[in-house]
Chain A
């Protein structure tokens, strides 16, 4: 295809991505380096017939003039990144210097909002991803041995947790595990603890969110592995059987190696998707006990005061996190492409 033809074909999609993905990234990086102007104050004297008082008021004219002259705000450099709401370098240095033990240092790190969000995001990502792969694999193997008329039905119901909006899915579960809901009551009865509430403790909230994450994403792994099982080489299975391999050995030495490329694929996609965990925290109303990087940005952007600079700094840090997670994929794609020539 000629360069010129290619250009016209790619133009609409490239323009859309340039205007609404690439430029916003530039804008986010810029905004994170500036902070809003402070209001300019002036002292005015109010005189009544009896006495004069001095008061400080906002000089609206000067403030507006400054805003028009420098719409981005004051240059802040990296200070927003290093402040207490983000990387909190001073607080960390202090915590390190005055630590009583390593545990104490980690505890104090957990009190800083950004690190709190990061620790949950990373825990969620790296716990949910392996669990959903294992669960998805087991479901795929179990469904594969069903009668073929049942398979379609099982796949239909299995797709549901994945296809509904994460917010809706988490609300549905949230209402059930409410202490007055059916699962909440069931757990109270099971553990014979009538005051048990999953919302009240940090550990239980984290477990709840992780269970939700596995429930939501396991269908994806299941469908991919199930498709992989349909292409299982029958000859190899037969030879393994003739050689006297047990069922477990067949699974271990034939099925799992055959599915391995798919496992990598699912793991990479799910690492990216779980890293952006956000809606469940809103749905489960779990802000008090768990916050993720995405929720952290959302929280800055929402409400009356839109803290754009702070949200931008968190966004840049999140993008850096995504880049680190993504680097193995990029290296792999690069190698594949070069191998193909």
Chain B
């Protein structure tokens, strides 16, 4: 069968191309617009007089002698100390991903290799935990954390995020390890390895694609979390997302919305780069659970 038969008629082809273009504009335009606008002053970003001001930066030019200004970034990073939030986010993400993956690979491997019935129940419990909105657990954390003086610090948040991450990590790595043939580690055991040695010398060298994919999603969860980080971190330990939310409370009244705009752009930039480099892994991770049906 030639590819010709699958070819679309011109009208349909035009229509579907037009649709893709419209979707691309809907998906990408808001980000480009905000990126462009973050270098303007507020009167241009929210222009009552003429929307084109946001493009040309007419008022920014009047005020700064150039259509671009870094004032928003200066205000957010230096004046409001957004850099502190960036460092906090980096710490939280790094440790959350590292610990989640360590726990998750051990657990996921065990679940994929055990043939007893309790593995099923453990996975079901993990699924139930996965479905629960994290904010419903926060009321349970606050009292003991206050009591034991654990509230507000980064390690507490990291371990909570690790725990919230576990159900998802377990499911993902479990299905990944199931695809690695059992014969591989069984033959190692025949050769006299213990289960852990088999894991260490046979499984670890071949597990990296699955671990990287899972790690990406753990990272996104920690990076994007708002419910837990905003409730469990004190003001000076805030990560980026709650910090941006706190900008809205304080700066909107002062007329410094541009700080928040600059902060939003700064927080989105790493995600852009992440998608650019790991697009293939993200797509395969999203579809992994699905294609199994």
- Out of B47, B54, B167, B291, which one reaches A227, CB within 8 Å? B291
Determine whether B143 belongs to the interface, using a CB cutoff of 8 Å to chain A. yes
- Known A-B contacts A10-B111, A160-B275, A278-B135; the reply to A141 vs B16 at CB < 8 A is yes
Q: Is the CB of B140 within 8 A of A164?
A: no
Report chain A residues within 8 Å CB of B144: 27
Determine whether A99 belongs to the interface, using a CB cutoff of 8 Å to chain B. no
A sample of 29 cross-chain residue pairs with beta-carbon separation below 8 angstroms, ordered by A number, consists of: A3-B116, A9-B199, A14-B107, A23-B140, A155-B283, A159-B275, A159-B282, A161-B27, A165-B223, A167-B226, A171-B248, A172-B30, A172-B31, A175-B261, A181-B46, A185-B51, A186-B51, A215-B26, A220-B286, A223-B287, A224-B287, A227-B283, A227-B291, A247-B12, A265-B289, A278-B133, A301-B231, A308-B142, A311-B138
Determine whether A157 belongs to the interface, using a CB cutoff of 8 Å to chain B. yes
Determine whether B272 belongs to the interface, using a CB cutoff of 8 Å to chain A. yes
Report chain B residues within 8 Å CB of A56: none
Report chain B residues within 8 Å CB of A31: 139-140, 143
Instruction: For the complex, give the distance between the alpha carbons of A315 and B136 in Å.
Output: 5
Shortest Cβ distance from A215 into chain B, in angstroms? 7
Shortest Cβ distance from A191 into chain B, in angstroms? 15
Report chain B residues within 8 Å CB of A6: 110, 114, 116
Interface string of A235-279 (1 = CB under 8 A from B): 001100100000100000000000001100110000010011011
- The list of the 3 closest CB pairs from A to B, nearest first, reads A24-B140, A20-B163, A9-B110
- Known A-B contacts A1-B195, A146-B20; the reply to A297 vs B286 at CB < 8 A is no
Counting chain B residues whose Cβ lies within 8 A of the other chain, the interface size class is 35 or more
Question: Interface stretch among A45-53, A196-204, A325-333?
Answer: A325-333
Considering only residues 162-183 of chain A, those with a C-beta below 8 Å from chain B are 163-168, 171-173, 175-176, 178, 180-182
Determine whether B241 belongs to the interface, using a CB cutoff of 8 Å to chain A. yes
B37, B163, B164 pick with most chain A CB within 10 angstroms: B163
A26, A143, A175 pick with most chain B CB within 10 angstroms: A175
Q: Is the CB of B110 within 8 A of A224?
A: no
Instruction: Find the A residue at minimum CB distance from B50.
Output: A185
Q: Is the CB of B140 within 8 A of A159?
A: no
Report chain A residues within 8 Å CB of B114: 1, 6
